[in-house]
Amino acid sequence: MQHEQPPAERRKWSLLKRASYAGTVLGALVLVCLLALLFFPDPLVNRFIKPRIIETVVEAYPAYAIRIGAMNYDVLENRFGCDSIVVSAVDSTFSSTIGPFTVSGIRWMHLLWGGSLAPHDFADATVEAHAIVLNFPESQYALRCEVLRMSVPDSEVVVDTLTLQPSAGDEDFFAESTFRKTRFRLAVSSARMQGVAYLELLQGKSSRPRFARIQDPFLDVLINKDKPSGKETPTPRVSSGGFEWMKGSLHADSLSMVNGHLQYGERFAVGAKPARLTLESMRVSASRIGNDEDSAASVVVDAQGMFMKTGVMNVHVAIPTGSRLSLFQYSGSLGRMDISALNPFLETAEQVRIVEGVLESATFTITVTSGLASGSVRAVYRNLTLAAINAKTGSKNGAADLFASFIANTFKLRGTNMPDKSGAITIGKVKYMRQRDDPLFRFLWFALRSGVADVVGF
């Protein structure tokens, strides 16, 4: 005889079966989702994650637009990647393109439920970007970088092949303005900064990296003196673009530059060969570096290099970190050299050729107060002889040129400045007021040149 189960027990088994079925279905769904995420993550990332990233960026920075190419995701490495990123300012003052881009180690799952990224979500993050181009149409400059790697766990920034230069050639750059301009070109083969506190920067705090090292920096400065001076044209400022999130001030204990090259030129006609000065094989060390414009500190720089491939030059300068250019000092020295090495500059800039002359040593100390440079230049030299040359032909044999050379060497030029029996020599006085279109580097050079001219008797 069969015994029927009570209705209550039948209901209990029915509920257990339903729960079992529901659990099985739910487990299957979770497994399918995990398998889909593991083996087919890219469609999910492009469908759900990419729109959320774009929305978050636009909400945080409404002045910018962003486009992201096809994204991919590696579950095991927790690494996102994309083919390209394009960021542009709504007012067209800035645009940027980035090639292959990867970021790993970000804690992002809470974004799926409407969360937002916080600084601690980046604690294990590493970012690597290739083929970076930042354009600044207003200043006509473009910043390019082949590889940029930022590692939060390693507290490190690594840069390979960085350049900052005008987007167009020199003639197009100078033709844009009716006034005189200064063109800068900067190239760095590699750079590394260690000890960067990324999380503190993201929280608006200061960061003081231990050191930074720059390899093979090259700076080329050119002024088109064929046009009149106009409004001030300072060193190009690179906008932060989309990096306003880094609100903290950045400081470094020390910076070193190895095998640097500095080239300064003045051009006096369209397409003409510039007058140039060079400083090569430079070793530069700097301390107390910062981007805090309100800071009262100064960047202390010591540099050594070969001036015009002939004499060893040493320079010490304290540069204000902000806009405090009202009071600072710089000094330096130059070793023994053949003064005729200056002819590549003087022949074009001054229509003067040094026939002979030897510099034994030179030192200078200059103080800048409210844009006025004053100080002294002590130069020990002998047998300095000049010849005026024809600006077009470069010849010094014309009658007018011979007469000008005679007048210069006989009545004005101080051909020798060696110590007398008491050890005294003529000291040149530095006096130069910063002009409206003088960027800092040219101002420092013109001030020094005024003291040299006073010694020689130009």
How sure is the predictor about 439, in pLDDT bands with cuts at 50, 70 and 90? confident
- The full set of domain ranges for the chain reads 325-458
Tokens 């090292």 label which residue? 213
Looking at 34-38, 50-54, 328-332, which range is the least confident one?
34-38
Q: Three-state DSSP class for 425?
A: coil
For the stretch 281-304, pLDDT in tens is: 999 998 866 555 545 567 788 999
The contacts of residue 200 (CB under 8 Å, 6+ apart) are 206, 207, 248
Strand partners, 290: 251
What are the start-end ranges of the H helices in 320-433? 343-349, 399-407
Report the percent of the chain where pLDDT is more than 90.
42
Task: Count the Cβ atoms, other than its own, within 10 Å of residue 121.
Answer: 19
Identify the CA nearest to 252 among candidates 323, 199, 322, 195.
195
Compute the radius of gyration of the chain from its Cα atoms.
32
pTM of this structure: 0.78
Q: What is the pLDDT of residue 246?
A: 41
Q: Which pLDDT belongs to residue 202? A: 74
**Virtual CA dihedral for 167, 221, 342, 344, nearest 10 degrees?**
20
Average pLDDT of 104-133? Answer: 80
Strand pairing class (327-334; 311-320): antiparallel
pLDDT number for residue 212: 87
pLDDT (mean) for 159-179: 93
Mean pLDDT, all residues of the chain: 80
Residue-level pLDDT at 370: 85
335 in Cβ contact with 307 (< 8 Å): no
Burial 325-358 (b: 16+ CB within 10 A, else e): eeeeebebbbeebebbbbbbbbbbbbbbbbeebe
N residues, the chain: 458
Tell me which DSSP letter residue 411 carries.
I
pLDDT at 48: 76
Q: What is the mean pLDDT of residues 391-410?
A: 48
- Asked if residue 391 has pLDDT above 70, the reply is no
Amino acid identity for residue 281 in this structure: S
Q: Kindly tell me if the per-residue pLDDT of 406 is higher than 80.
A: no
> Got the DSSP string for 227-280?
S---S--PSPP---TT-TT--S-BEEEEEEEEEEEEEEEEE-STTPPPEEEEEE
Q: Which pLDDT does position 399 carry in this prediction?
A: 44
Of 70-79, 155-164, 200-209, give the range with the top mean pLDDT: 155-164
